[in-house]
Each structure stands twice: as C-alpha cells, then as structure tokens.
Amino acid sequence: MRKHKPPWLKRIRLAVTGVVMAITMAVAPAAMADLNGYDVSGYQAPDITQVAPADFAIVKVNQGWYINSSWGQQASGAVNTGKELGLYDYASGMDATTEADNFVNHITGYVGKAMLVLDWEPYQNAAWGNSNWVRTWVYRVHARTGVWPVVYCSKGFVGQIPADVRAKCMLWAAQYANNYATGYQDSPWLAGSQGEGMLQYTSTGYLNGHGPLDLDKFFGDRTAWRKIACGERAGCSTTGGSTGTPNVHVEKRTTNTTDLNAMATAVIRGDYGNGADRQSRLGDNYQAVMNIVNSRLSGSTYSGPTTVTRTTTRTYVVRSGDTVSAIAERTGLKPASAWRVPSGNINRIYVGQTITYYGSSTVSTPSTTYSSTHVVSAGESLWKIYGSGWYAAAQRNGLRPPYTIYPGQRLR
C-alpha cells in the first residue's frame, strides 16, 4: 500500500533480491481458484478500478482523520465492474477506538459486502510497535460490524500482530522479490510463507497500460472472499453478487440451429433444385445434407449429424487462469484463432476483458452414452483421474495437447 508517501520513497524501501521475474501481462494458464487484484489509494485516479482489470480491488478510505477523497468513486468503480471489494484504514496511531469508529462511520453501506482491512505500517504511524493498538482497533471494528477485519503488514513485521488477532483475522502480507515492472503473477516469490491468505508482491505492477500498481493474490475464490466480508452477520450472500453484478462469467451467444433431416426431405422433394443451384442454396450445409439424401436414396444406414448449430458471435469475459486456447476448449468454440481480443494478440489477454468468437459452426453428432462421468476438481489431471487410461479418456472427450482440464468440467 504505502500510497501516502512519494513514489520515490516507496522504491527505496523495496527489498531487491537476485530473483528475476519476467514481465508478464497475461494471466497464467492454470486451473485455479485464486483471485488477482490490486490495492489503491488517493494517489491513483478516481476511475482506476473501472479501467484496470482485476478480480478484486482494495481501496484506501482513511488514515486517522484523513479521508481519501476518491475512495467512494474507486469503491463504486470496483463494484460496477464486477470486482470483489476491500476497504482499508491506514493506521495513523491516534486513539485506536476513535480511528476504528471513523473508519466504520464512513464505510457503513459496504459492511457485510466488502472486506474490511487494517493497514499496519511504520510510516506516519505514531503507535508503531504497539501490538495492543492493533488488537484494540480490530476488536472495535468487530464489535461494531460483526466482521473480523483482515490485517495487512510486511512479512518482516508479522510478529507485531497479536496471537489472538492472528487467530481471528486473515493476514495479508507484503513481500517483494524485486522492483521490476510486472503483470499478474501465477506463483509470487515466497507466497504463503507466513501463512498469509493474501500476498502483495509488487508495487510496480502494470495492467493494460495502467500503473504502477500494488498487485496482490488472494488464495481463495470469490465465495471465500465474501465469507470474510460477511463475517458473523446474518443475511450476507456468499454465492451471488455481494458487491455488484460480477462480469467475469458473463457469456453471450447468438446461435441458429438447422435441421439437416428437414433440408434433406426438401431436397428430395425438389425444393432446392439441382447441381450448382442446389449447392449454392444449401451453402455450408450442402455436403451434410447430401450425405443424408444419398443414404436415404440408397437405403443405407445414416449415422452422421442431423442438426448443425452455427455460432454467429459469442462474447466471453476473461477470468483468472484463462487463455484463449483454454476458453476455446472449454466452450467448444474452435479454433482459438477465431477469437478476437482487444490487444490483437490472442496470447495477451487480461482478467475482465471481453473477447469475441467469430468462428463458423459447431456440428451436433450422435453421441455415445457412457455409464458415468467425472467432474474435475482443482489440481486434478487426466493422469490423476484415469491413470494409464488417460490417453483413451482424452480421445473420448475430444481433448488435444496439452490436454488441459478445468475445475467443474465434466469428463466421460
């Protein structure tokens, strides 16, 4: 966080190591539930949470009596673009109960919907080193909201967080490998080494040209986030849109299904003419329809497709872990090259972006019925599920190299 001080001071404080991380603006191709996001304060533009892609955004509300004048717009920007929301108070060191009350008084409308956070750092914090201040602030916020807040601090200062607070509150830790520009990272350096539920791993993040930003990874899904936000309150939703209408799973499809059997009957009746005229009028359906016609006229058994569904356009909003090739496999809208993305490069997509499919069609064919199915869980592979029979399973399910599968996918 540390957005209350000049950027040059923040850069000086970075712990630089010899670990080199390549700049990667795209989300890594992995089947995972973790969320990618960032935290912001008054140093960022009021519309930053609307234009920078993320699964979540955490917004600075206050620092003692100081109020971030942009926090309301930044919070609503996150909500309106389907991001999970967090709100934080940067500890000033004034009376802990008074500061907690000031924080809660400003964010009342978001209680139960947004994750509440204490940012515990040494700079401009008169209570630094006083663990009881942290305890007092945390218990006061809980008493007023029914929510145990999250506590943020550098990994080097985790020892200042009292054990009873650690037992009740998720830790959000900060540790940077270097100060190189980066996009979202799949496996940040030393992630989870202090038992944290969320890690801030850089202050030099760039997303779709927006930055620098503090980038964070939350080790859980949206339901886990909402459970923390809800706390012990009654009536909170942890499965639906708790802070707005999420856009990461929205898909729009325009389709047209054609009955090939009916067209074959019309051809035999003479409705489609002959020769080139028939081929022209049947268009893309010509060969499939003629296969049915020929089988009928010859008295043979036909086992090919009887309907064809053409997808005119389909839009998909990118979520964490997606790649275009994975989206194409999961939706059946192939090839991947038929997708159009804002960057013009299908290997460069970002969480929250809308991409569009401009492929031709998906043909429905008679399917073989199998006795059972398996629903994929996070971390599973074809080998883990089927053992030495993994290749046969891949062929049966129409999977191609690199044989990627995803949580929730049903295999037969």
Q: Which residues are within 8 A (CB) of 378 and not within 5 positions of it... i.e. 6 or more apart?
A: 31, 32, 33, 407
Q: Do β-strands 339-340 and 354-357 pair in parallel, antiparallel, or remain unpaired? A: antiparallel
Cβ proximity of 117 and 87 under 8 Å: yes
Neighbours of 267 (CB within 10 A): 21
How far apart, in whole angstroms, are the C-alpha atoms of residue 217 and residue 197? Answer: 9
pLDDT at position 4: 43
Tokens of 109: 């409308």
Chain centre to alpha carbon of residue 214? 17
> What pTM, to 2 d.p., does this model score?
0.55
Where do you find CATH 3.20.20.80 in the chain?
7-230
CATH topology classification for 368-412? Membrane-bound Lytic Murein Transglycosylase D; Chain A (3.10.350)
Instruction: Determine the straight-line distance between the first and last CA of the chain, rounded to whole angstroms.
Output: 47
pLDDT at position 178: 92
Which is nearest to 73 in space by CA: 63, 84, 61, 62? Answer: 61
pLDDT at position 334: 79
pLDDT at position 74: 96
Q: 405-408 long-range CB contacts below 8 Å, 24 or more apart?
A: 405/31, 405/376, 405/380, 405/381, 406/31, 406/321, 406/326, 406/330, 406/376, 407/31, 407/33, 407/376, 407/377, 407/378, 408/375, 408/376
Where do you find CATH 3.10.350.10 in the chain?
368-412
pLDDT at position 233: 86
Write a three-state SS string for the chain.
CCCCCCHHHHHHCCCCCCCCCCCCCCCCCCCCCCEEEEEECCCCCCCHHHHCCCCEEEEEEEECCEECCCHHHHHHHHHHCCCEEEEEEECCCCCHHHHHHHHHHHHHHHCCCCEEEEECCCCCCCCCCCHHHHHHHHHHHHHHHCCCCEEEEEHHHHHHCCHHHHHHCCEEEECCCCCCCECCCCCCCCCCCCCCCEEEEEEEEEECCEEEEEEEEECCCHHHHHHHHHCCCCCCCCCCCCCCCCCCCCEEEEEEEEEHHHHHHHHHHCCCCCHHHHHHHHHHHHHHHHHHHHHHHHCCCCCCCCEEEEEEEEEEECCCCCCHHHHHHHHCCCCHHHEECCCCCCCCCCCCCEEEECCCEEEECCCCCCCCCEECCCCCCHHHHHHHHHHHHHHHCCCCCCCCCCCCCEEC
CATH topology classification for 7-230? TIM Barrel (3.20.20)
The mean pLDDT values, 10 residues at a time, for the chain of 412 residues are 40 31 31 80 95 96 96 95 96 97 95 97 96 98 96 96 94 94 91 91 93 94 91 75 36 65 85 87 86 83 79 69 80 80 76 72 40 67 74 77 75 74
How far apart, in whole angstroms, are the C-alpha atoms of residue 165 and residue 82? Answer: 30
pLDDT at position 363: 46
